[in-house]
Amino acid sequence: MQNISGLSTTGIKAPWFFDGSQPCTMLSTEAFYPDDEDPVVKMRKTQKAKEALKPLCDSCALSAPCLEWAIVNNEYGIWAGTTEADRKRLRRKTA
Ligand code: SF4
């Protein structure tokens, strides 16, 4: 099983991340990065993954900084129980 690396899409390591205490470090990285060639299938997979991961992220002590990291670094995948589309909406709200 592969753990989340703590690297952003730009390869920058989140300084406070993934010391093994976060619930997501017990899961496969793939769980957080649903993918498919078909955009509709990818969207469905992403929503399913979000629903599955949200309770885990809601219980995580680092949920707030995790979300901030994902927004600031334009991360893809699911971070802090949010999808890229969720974070895009949050970015627009705060702009
Ligand atoms: S909020 Fe979710 S993705 Fe972020 S560190 Fe916690 S468990 Fe991992």
CA atoms within 13 A on the CB side of 2: 8
Ligand 1 close to Cβ of residue 8 (< 6 A): no
Say yes or no to pLDDT of 59 above 80.
yes
Quick one: average pLDDT of 32-47?
95
**Three-state SS annotation for the chain:** CCCCCCECCCCCECCCCCCCCCHHHHCCHHHHCCCCCCHHHHHHHHHHHHHHHHHHHHCCCCHHHHHHHHHHCCCCCCECCECHHHHHHHHHHHC
Mutate to test the pocket of ligand 1, among 25, 66, 73 (most ligand atoms within 8 A of CB): 66
Ligand 1 close to Cβ of residue 22 (< 6 A): yes
Q: For residue 73, what pLDDT band results from cuts at 50, 70 and 90? A: confident
Domain map (residue ranges) of the chain: 23-94
Quick one: average pLDDT of 1-23?
57
